[in-house]
Amino acid sequence: MRIILIGLPGSGKTSLGKQLANRMNLPFLDLDEELEREYGKSISEMFREEGEAGFRLMEQACLQRTLAKGIDMVLATGGGTPCFFDNLIWLKEAGTLVFLNPPIEVIAERRLGIEENTRPLLSGEGNLSDKLRALYQKRLPFYQKAEITYAGSDAAELIALIQNQH
């Protein structure tokens, strides 16, 4: 079984993903970590050096290689991964797509303690909640294509939702 998590930065893809993988006895892969390992640079460095368009091409190639492994897994994608190229189609074909959708205020609170430049689209001047809301509105049409939308943070509850889907 493949569980693929999508949602904004701070929505819980990595933390909840690790819990899911542990409970389901599946490997956990984080696409951002795969990208950083593959290219030997941080996400912010790739963004800065390649621009968003170049970064998205690198992300797409890494996603294709990750999905081609053909293994069962829990995969946490980058927040923008499903919004570019045909990534959403590949993600939906590869497994059960889960949109993690906690309230913006919860995401903003989670992001406050994180180094600002780790997510280039959220860095810089301005209110973090406003930036998150704008990003959310832009990406929501893609996120809503997931089979499951989940706003909580309980791995057992999410597993039950996933099992009911199958």
Domain with residue 157: its CATH number is 3.40.50.300
- Using CA atoms, how far apart are residues 46 and 40, in angstroms rounded to an integer? 9
- When the pLDDT of each residue in the chain is averaged and rounded to a whole number, the result is 92
Please state, in angstroms and as integers, the Cα–Cα distance from residue 115 to each residue in 77, 97, 106, 110, 118, following that order.
19, 28, 17, 11, 6
In 7-161, DSSP assigns E strands to: 28-30, 73-76, 96-100, 148-150
If we measure between CA atoms, which residue out of 18, 2, 15, 4 comes closest to residue 143?
A: 4
Helix, strand, coil share of the chain (percent; to 5):
60, 10, 30
Confidence band, pLDDT 50/70/90 cuts, at residue 125: low
Number of structural domains the chain divides into: 1
Q: What is the pLDDT of residues 75-89, one digit of tens each?
A: 999 999 999 999 999
CA gyration radius, the chain? 15
Looking at the chain, how many residues does it have? 166
Q: What is the pLDDT of residues 32-73, one digit of tens each?
A: 999 999 999 999 999 999 999 999 999 999 999 999 999 999
> What range defines the domain where residue 44 resides?
2-165
Spatial CB neighbours of 44, under 8 Å, sequence gap ≥ 6: 117, 118, 119, 120, 123
- The pTM of the full predicted model, rounded to 2 decimals, is 0.93
